[in-house]
Structure 1
Amino acid sequence: MALDAWLSTFSVVAVLVALATTKIAADAILMAALAFLVVSGVLGPAEALVGFSNTGVMTIAALYVVAAGLKETGAVQWVANALLGQPDSLKKAQLRVMLPASSLSAFMNNTTVVAMFIPALQEWSRKLKLPPSKLLLPLSYTAILGGTCTLIGTSTNLVVDGLLQSEKGVALGMFDLAQVGVPMLLVGGTFLMLFADRLLPRREGLIEQLDLAREYSVEFVVTEGGPLPGKTISEAGLRNLQYGYLTDIERDGRLMTAVPPETQLEGGDILVFIGAPELARELRQVRGVSPGSDDIHKLDVANHHRCLVEAVISPDFTGVGQTVREARVRSRFQAVILSISRQGRRLPGKVGDIRLQVGDTLLMETGHDFVDQYRYRRDFLLVSALNDSTPPSFHKAPVALGVLGAMVAAAGVGLLSIFEAALLASGGMLATGCITVSKARRYIDLSVLTVIAASFALGAAMTSSGAAQVIAGGVVSDNMSPWLALAVVYLLTTLFTEIITNNAAAVLMFPIAMSVADQLGVNYMPFAIAIMFAASASFMTPLGYQTNLMVYGPGGYRLLDYLRLGAPLSLLVGSTAVGLIPMVWGF
């Protein structure tokens, strides 16, 4: 090999080793490799930065905003709760999980779908007395399989499509992948329905224990005319909360204690909950209840611009020794205290009458800029926001789903390209108020986009230096059948995906796969499509795909659980893909 080929191969090997064995951020590793290729002269600046202008990468950025709009409006949660229902067996419960998860994942980011389902399933499984370990891994696997059914279902599909457009001038349609993706979903879903119960353990999730957590007491009011009056506590989803429990109901000045789950709720009921700080965030996701403090309605911050914050009072706080009412926290800090914890114990009684002491931890509802504004001020020793604590704008959920539907329809019938449809949809989310510009900016994961874009430089170096052709020659022989070569490419991509990121695996394997096709003198499309499916089909480790890692803790899983269920699923799905791809895209 020439020097450039050796340098390119060294870069790829170094990246693989660093991603697999170090804790260095993936974007830092890939950018370091990009810099090395430019400085060593393997690539010019324009070649190295081509990924940052790739339509696939920019489409992913636009779809982050679309997914954010769906999340912020609670659209996914709204659909999930409507579809889950009350099944009477584990098999039916798994089916109720897998159908909506796979359907939603076909049209939006898998990570967003799984993130929205996890808390709903934790509550749902406790209500049905089913172990979450039987539901959460099938959720992740079906979300992955559902994402393979359309071009926008997973970022990997868009990355490979971007490579095909830039190098081969070929663009895939929205539903072209469904010809293989849907059979894979049906085969994989059937396997999970038949064997997930037998192969997965009965194990509880790693849910934070309340007696070890900072404990608060919070009050929420049942909204008059909302969806909860007339429902029982259980039907309202308030019986088995993840981070706390309902203790009392105050109704017409009368206190009801130790209320049974069949108690019917009425508009105006004041519900008293005890639990961890995340409890208030969890309750803000429930339609039909709102914080009980009168000051909440006086807070001069729009509802959808609020978040929950924990702040520890310092000796320099001017209200030390005063009651909350006397300290005028709302007017001074534009924040409302929902609850107070002292030495890890909740303080009972009305919040406004509690006298503040140094070290008290305040659970407050305030604006998004509070943390940045007061993090380094002397009033508080520590200020931290609770993640995802902004209440969803449920009335916007139909609008967000409408924007998503319009995007899919426009791209599906060929009226617009995927890139154009995604740009208009992200603009639609902003224009309709489903998400604000500042929040949309925070949802765009620049580290992921950087990893993908920088990976293109490695692929370009492998192609231009001839290293991909040399590696392809070592992978296949001239007399190897195209079908066997396709299986080898699929297997290598799957192995890479299990140890590094799925997008990086796809970009690194693309030039090798193209070289394999050239060496055999066959059509390159089956190999490109195989990379799409293989890079997404990560089932054997929690690290191979982000959704697998997301359910690891909540499901109480261990590495062996992934191997036990994921290994046969990978073999089954891989065999289906390798068997079907050449029938759709012939050699």
Structure 2
Amino acid sequence: MNVEQASLLVLLATMLVLFSLDRFRIEVVAIGGLLAGFLLKLYPAEAGFSGFASPVVITVVEILLIVQVLAQAKFFDGLAQRFQSAGWPNVAVIAALAGITGFISIFMNNIGAFAIMLPATLRAGTVLQIPRRQLVIPISFAALLGGLVSLIGTPANLLVSDALAKATGTGFRFFDFAYAGLPVAIAGILLVSVLAVRLFPETDGDVSAPPPATRRIVAEREIPVTSPLAGTRLADCPKRFGLQPHALIRGGTFVFGSLTQSVITAGDILLAEGADAVFSDLEAEGALAAPIHPNGLQTDFARVEAVVMPESTLIGSRIRSLDVFRNRGVSVTSLSMRSPRIEGRFEDLQLSIGDILVLEGTRDAIAEALEECECLPLATQPATSSVKGSWRPFAIFAAGVALSAFGLLRPEIAFAAVVFALAVTRFLNIRQAMADINWPIVIMLAAMIPIGSAVATTGTAEVLAHWLSLAVPISMPLAGIALLLFIAMALTPFVNNATVAIVLSPIALEFAAAAHHPPAAYLIVVAAGASLDFLTPFGHHNNTLAMSIGGYRVSDFLRAGGPLALLGYIMTVLIVAAVWL
């Protein structure tokens, strides 16, 4: 191994660790790595920003623009009534909702499919009285499974296709991924639908059974004069009232002292954490003062839950700085945090991906604010867009998919035509839509492409393949693809799937050369492994959102995702070996 290869391995290891820690923004880590690669002379200056001109990045941007239009269509809002009329059992409804999510995800990115189906799914759960915990994980996993089926289902598929095109002159066709992806997706959706009903059962009156997990919120409430909390020590609040106190404010200043010595008095403001149902019950009993909103008597007053999406402008902001709500007379009354770190008062809390805001105000003001800050309401809102109810955006998109699927146009050209058609028909405002794109993901993807290319051009992939061949006979049928799939699935819970595909694609090509096998087989398993991400709530943004919305524990992902990951691993290895080797 030479100095150049050693430097690249150290750089990659450092970046993977920084990505997994999630303490720095992904685009900052990627750009830092890009600059470090140039300083280490791993690629020339003209190649440093070549990723921004890559067809992969261009296609991802086009899909993100198209998804913004399709997400406004509210095309699936009537599902609840249809299921109610059909009288299906819960497991059939869950499987159907997950199946629709997976189907949508074949033609767009995973987060887009999840965002489109989430409000309709929660609405169906409310109407049919299906517990939220039985619904959210299945549609999150289904969105990941659907991405296995097509070229544009996930950026990882586009990246491995680009690697194949550079190696052989021809990339994957639109549905080449479906040979393995479609059977895995169908089996996985059926499995997770059955598991969800068994792992997250409805309460059946058995007092000995552990209660289902409920979402915990943080809120600041005033103590009324007649409240039973008055005269209670802070230390007794968890046991007597189910609240974990974090701060007590009296006369505008904090009450300092130990929990056993601090006593609540009428008129105090309590900052506490607890189950959302506990706050509701205490407010109903008069133990806590309910939030008072000036618009509460208006006919269009609404209380809406909204989740902070990965592309939201609110990420990193504190409650006190949310002018997007304040300027419209919308109040943030409570917050469900993925990783509670509570310091100061409620207005000092800092938002991150997956946090859920409870908003009060007029319905139109809330809808307008959520659209501006890229947060997703967890209940269907009336759409003001002309897209609602129209089939034409879907028809335009379907035409672009057909042009790409039949090889008539390259994907980046076909979807550029779709963007143009949506803009001409006034379904898409390109200027506004470009501002709403999840640019950190795009920048990360573009910055990582030159580094991934360096894995091949510096001979690092060849060195890594040689090392792995000493431990596993990669020239044997199944051994190489089984090892690559295992590595990809081991990395993707900690690193985004695009990075996994970029780093492993050159190694996959070396594996194929050493085994004298078609490189397509090895690249297919890299793409599949990068998307089979079910074991943790932090590996993919869909899972992060699901954990917050469904009130899951980390162990819930292991229980529901473990069997699914094992099934996906076995089926992918066997199908790829049968079809591609």
- TM-score normalized by the length of structure 1: 0.70
- Residues 408-440 of structure 1 show CA distances to partners (whole Å, capped at 9, x for unaligned) of 222222222212111111112211111212222
Residue equivalent to 1:21 = 21
How far off is 1:178 after superposition?
Answer: 1.3
Q: Helix, strand or coil for the counterpart of 1:276? A: strand
- The answer as to 2:574 corresponding to 1:579 is yes
424, 433, 454: which one aligns with 1:431 = 424
Structure 1 distance, partners of 2:39, 2:446, is: 18
Residue equivalent to 2:390 = 397
- Residues 222-250 of structure 1 show CA distances to partners (whole Å, capped at 9, x for unaligned) of xxxxxxxxxxxxxxxxxxxxxx9xxxxxx
What are the within-5 Å matches in structure 2 for residues 117-266 of structure 1?
117-200=117-200, 203=212, 206=215
Distance 1:363 1:369, change over 3 A: closer
Structure 2 distance, partners of 1:454, 1:489, is: 24
Amino acid of the structure 2 residue aligned with 1:65:
L
Judge conservation of contact 2:51–2:445 (CA < 8 Å) in 1: yes
Q: Helix, strand or coil for the counterpart of 2:326? A: strand
Q: Helix, strand or coil for the counterpart of 1:574? A: helix
- Residues 319-364 of structure 1 show CA distances to partners (whole Å, capped at 9, x for unaligned) of xxxxxxxxxxxxxxxxxx7x787999xxxxxxxxxxxxxxxx9769
Amino acid of the structure 1 residue aligned with 2:132:
P
Judge conservation of contact 1:403–1:425 (CA < 8 Å) in 2: yes
Q: Structure 2 regions of 5+ residues with no counterpart?
A: 203-211, 223-279, 281-296, 307-322, 335-359, 378-382
Residue equivalent to 2:245 = none
Distance 1:164 1:362, change over 3 A: same
Structure 1 distance, partners of 2:577, 2:151, is: 18
Structure 2 distance, partners of 1:173, 1:543, is: 31
Q: Helix, strand or coil for the counterpart of 1:112? A: helix
Amino acid of the structure 1 residue aligned with 2:57:
V
Structure 1 distance, partners of 2:534, 2:333, is: 43
- The answer as to 2:482 corresponding to 1:455 is no
Structure 1 distance, partners of 2:568, 2:31, is: 33
How far off is 1:88 after superposition?
Answer: 4.0
Structure 2 distance, partners of 1:385, 1:509, is: 35
Structure 1 distance, partners of 2:332, 2:185, is: 51
Residue equivalent to 1:522 = 517
Structure 2 distance, partners of 1:472, 1:122, is: 46
Structure 1 distance, partners of 2:35, 2:220, is: 50
Residue equivalent to 1:329 = none
Residue equivalent to 2:483 = 488
Amino acid of the structure 2 residue aligned with 1:20:
S
Residue equivalent to 1:567 = 562
Structure 1 distance, partners of 2:91, 2:35, is: 52
How far off is 1:394 after superposition?
Answer: 4.2
Distance 1:167 1:65, change over 3 A: same
How far off is 1:37 after superposition?
Answer: 1.1
How far off is 1:273 after superposition?
Answer: 5.6
Judge conservation of contact 1:159–1:507 (CA < 8 Å) in 2: yes
Structure 1 distance, partners of 2:156, 2:79, is: 25
Q: Structure 1 regions of 5+ residues with no counterpart?
A: 214-243, 245-269, 280-307, 313-336, 345-360, 372-383
526, 537, 548: which one aligns with 2:532 = 537
Structure 2 distance, partners of 1:413, 1:38, is: 39
Judge conservation of contact 1:148–1:533 (CA < 8 Å) in 2: yes
Structure 2 distance, partners of 1:426, 1:522, is: 39
Distance 1:145 1:471, change over 3 A: same
Structure 1 distance, partners of 2:80, 2:18, is: 41
Structure 1 distance, partners of 2:13, 2:333, is: 51
Structure 2 distance, partners of 1:108, 1:464, is: 31
Amino acid of the structure 2 residue aligned with 1:193:
S
Further displaced range: 202-211 or 564-573: 202-211
Residue equivalent to 1:257 = none
Distance 1:309 1:16, change over 3 A: closer
Structure 2 distance, partners of 1:119, 1:49, is: 38
421, 436, 460: which one aligns with 1:443 = 436
How far off is 1:402 after superposition?
Answer: 0.9
Further displaced range: 459-468 or 7-16: 459-468
Residue equivalent to 1:310 = 325
531, 549, 558: which one aligns with 2:544 = 549
Residue equivalent to 2:303 = 276
Amino acid of the structure 2 residue aligned with 1:446:
W
Residue equivalent to 2:269 = none
Structure 1 distance, partners of 2:409, 2:84, is: 37
Amino acid of the structure 2 residue aligned with 1:272:
T
Distance 1:450 1:146, change over 3 A: same
How far off is 1:559 after superposition?
Answer: 0.6
Judge conservation of contact 1:309–1:365 (CA < 8 Å) in 2: no
Further displaced range: 161-170 or 28-37: 161-170
Amino acid of the structure 1 residue aligned with 2:410:
S
Residue equivalent to 1:415 = 408
Judge conservation of contact 1:340–1:362 (CA < 8 Å) in 2: yes
Structure 2 distance, partners of 1:84, 1:30, is: 45
Amino acid of the structure 1 residue aligned with 2:199:
L
How far off is 1:170 after superposition?
Answer: 1.7
Structure 1 distance, partners of 2:333, 2:575, is: 62
Judge conservation of contact 2:404–2:410 (CA < 8 Å) in 1: yes
Judge conservation of contact 2:325–2:369 (CA < 8 Å) in 1: no
Distance 1:179 1:342, change over 3 A: closer
- Residues 127-147 of structure 1 show CA distances to partners (whole Å, capped at 9, x for unaligned) of 222211011101111111112
Q: Helix, strand or coil for the counterpart of 1:434? A: coil
Structure 2 distance, partners of 1:120, 1:210, is: 28
- The answer as to 2:64 corresponding to 1:60 is no
How far off is 1:553 after superposition?
Answer: 1.0
Amino acid of the structure 2 residue aligned with 1:505:
V
Distance 1:155 1:141, change over 3 A: same
Distance 1:47 1:521, change over 3 A: farther
- Residues 477-498 of structure 1 show CA distances to partners (whole Å, capped at 9, x for unaligned) of 4844131111000000111111
Distance 1:362 1:559, change over 3 A: closer
Distance 1:485 1:387, change over 3 A: closer
Judge conservation of contact 1:110–1:154 (CA < 8 Å) in 2: yes
Judge conservation of contact 2:80–2:123 (CA < 8 Å) in 1: no
Residue equivalent to 1:8 = 8
Residue equivalent to 2:294 = none
Q: Helix, strand or coil for the counterpart of 1:184? A: helix
- The answer as to 2:470 corresponding to 1:470 is no
Q: Helix, strand or coil for the counterpart of 2:391? A: helix
Amino acid of the structure 1 residue aligned with 2:35:
A
How far off is 1:309 after superposition?
Answer: 4.8
- Residues 23-51 of structure 1 show CA distances to partners (whole Å, capped at 9, x for unaligned) of 10111111111111111212112333332
Structure 1 distance, partners of 2:428, 2:214, is: 32
Distance 1:112 1:205, change over 3 A: farther
- The answer as to 2:517 corresponding to 1:508 is no
Q: Helix, strand or coil for the counterpart of 1:41? A: coil
Distance 1:11 1:211, change over 3 A: closer
Provide the identity percentage.
22
Amino acid of the structure 1 residue aligned with 2:386:
S
Judge conservation of contact 1:200–1:565 (CA < 8 Å) in 2: no
Q: Helix, strand or coil for the counterpart of 2:107? A: coil
How far off is 1:73 after superposition?
Answer: 3.1
What are the within-5 Å matches in structure 2 for residues 336-375 of structure 1?
none
Structure 2 distance, partners of 1:193, 1:109, is: 22
